[in-house]
Amino acid sequence: SQLRQVDSGYDSVLLPRQDDDIFCVYDPRSALPRYLVHFDVLGLGKEDELDGLEVERLKAEIEELRNNQAPSDDSSELCQRLRDLQQMHASEAEAWALKQLPPYRFEVVSRSSEPNVWQRCAARLAHAIDEGAGLAAGLEAVMTKLERIVNPGMAARFYGDAADLFYPEEHFRWLLHNGTQQPFAIGELGFFRESFDSGEAPSKGSGGVSEGRFGKGFYFGCSASLLGRTGLGQQHMLLCEVALGRSMLAQAARRNLDCESLKRAGFDSLHAPRAIGDETGMDEWVVYNPNQARPAFLLTFEIQPRAVAAELLRQLAQLEEQRRALDEQLAEALQEVEDARREAEETRSQLDAQLAQQLEDQDRNLYKEEQRSRAARERMDLEEAKHLQSLESKEK
């Protein structure tokens, strides 16, 4: 049977099978190729004795060539120089390719046009608010704005570095980052690269409230209280896609950790789980390579007393209704302009057709008039010739 994508609230189709399940998606943007696997099929079929001898002979020849062509010191230096040049050219080509990508931008997500995205992010925010210590009694959080972060250069670095992790096949996780007091500090160079490269320990403004409990890195969690975003007023948090790879479990503070020491230990990130029996504790994740995190959404929300939050929700609903009405009016105005343009185009086509018909009629009449004039001239010439001929006959 033929499957078609329908608006049923699902993103994919699962076809369960006994040997292996099959997943089907209908939007090509839902699939991201990450690896290209090259393989050979060897040892199939039955080798006869002659084929086996031929294979052994080829192996012996290859081994002899390897032994007789051992590189000298000079050739080793040349090979190393060639590899360095190739790596340098590859780096320059990658840098040039990243420069050709369009700059980053923020796209406002409308609740009316993308309700599913808005609801999922609002649910993630509500879960983050309830996780851990939560809000003080009588307070409530309301998401007032949602922005999508579009940064092709950062995305290219993220997926490129994710492929080089120890466990690159691990699924990416969606985690929260507290951002900064200046939430628009996400630049083309990378994810908060300025604060990371400065060498300062992570703080509430650049990496989490632990202030370097696990060294200089980027701190993520699922709780707003962990990220210091439960105070009154307007707050910001980033919803990020994080490539954790192989995570090191940490039960105590380790302030000397950095990217190199973590790599030497064979890990890609750090996970500090909540203590057993600690209801107010929260999980925490740390990455030390800024390219292992891709900010996807900027969540702006207000923490206010419930009465103020209710009024804020009412105002947001009114603003959304006004925006919807304005969108409808704009759509109607654009439709009227399109109808007027189409009518003008049809009128111009009709006038062009009439003008073309008039020109054709004029050409036809002119042709007929020329034909009549030619016929009249021919008759006059014939009569004049007859008259001259008669005059000549009389003279004779």
**Band (319; pLDDT cuts 50, 70, 90):** confident
Mean pLDDT taken over the chain: 77
Of the ranges 39-48, 311-320, 328-337, 384-393, which is most confident? 328-337
CB contact at 8 A, 229 and 178: yes
Q: Which of 216, 24, 239 is nearest to 117 (CA)?
A: 239
Kind plus residue range of the DSSP H or E element containing 211: none
pLDDT tens, residue by residue, 185-223: 444 334 443 433 333 333 333 433 345 688 888 888 888
3-state DSSP call for residue 357? helix
pLDDT of residue 99: 63
- The token duo for 136 is 């003080």
pLDDT of residue 297: 92
Higher pLDDT among residues 60 and 8, named by residue: 60
Higher pLDDT among residues 341 and 6, named by residue: 341
**Alpha-carbon gap, residue 267 to 244, rounded angstroms:** 9
pLDDT of residue 268: 93
Q: Which residue has the tokens 């707003």?
A: 224
pLDDT of residue 302: 86
pLDDT tens, residue by residue, 119-152: 999 999 888 888 766 777 788 888 889 999 888 8
Which residues have a Cβ under 8 Å from the Cβ of 159 and sit 6 or more positions away?
32, 34
**Alpha-carbon gap, residue 198 to 216, rounded angstroms:** 10
Q: Which residues pair with 142 in a beta bridge?
A: 302
| Phi and psi torsions of 54, nearest 5° | -65, -45
**Alpha-carbon gap, residue 308 to 151, rounded angstroms:** 35
Nearest 5°: the CA angle 379, 382, 384 is: 110
pLDDT of residue 186: 47
Residue 169 vs residues 20, 48, 236, 291: alpha-carbon distances, Å:
18, 41, 31, 17
**Band (101; pLDDT cuts 50, 70, 90):** low
Residue 74 vs residues 71, 83, 86, 88, 166: alpha-carbon distances, Å:
8, 14, 18, 21, 35
pLDDT of residue 243: 93
Q: Which residues pair with 218 in a beta bridge?
A: 287
Q: What is the rounded average pLDDT of the residues 164-179? A: 83
pLDDT of residue 347: 92
pLDDT of residue 266: 92
**355-393 b/e (C-beta count within 10 Å ≥ 16 → b):** eeeeeeeeeeeeeeeeeeeeeeeeeeeeeeeeeeeeeee
Residue type, 287: V
CB contact at 8 A, 291 and 191: yes
Which residues have a Cβ under 8 Å from the Cβ of 118 and sit 6 or more positions away?
109, 110, 111, 143, 146
**Alpha-carbon gap, residue 235 to 195, rounded angstroms:** 20
**Alpha-carbon gap, residue 245 to 155, rounded angstroms:** 17
3-state DSSP call for residue 72? coil
Least confident of 71-75, 100-104, 344-348: 71-75
Question: In 10 A of CB 313, how many CB atoms?
Answer: 15
Of the ranges 165-179, 284-298, 381-395, which is most confident? 284-298
Residue 318 predicted with pLDDT over 90: no
- The token duo for 182 is 């200046």
**Alpha-carbon gap, residue 279 to 258, rounded angstroms:** 29
Q: Which of 125, 225, 228, 121 is nearest to 179 (CA)?
A: 228
pLDDT of residue 199: 34
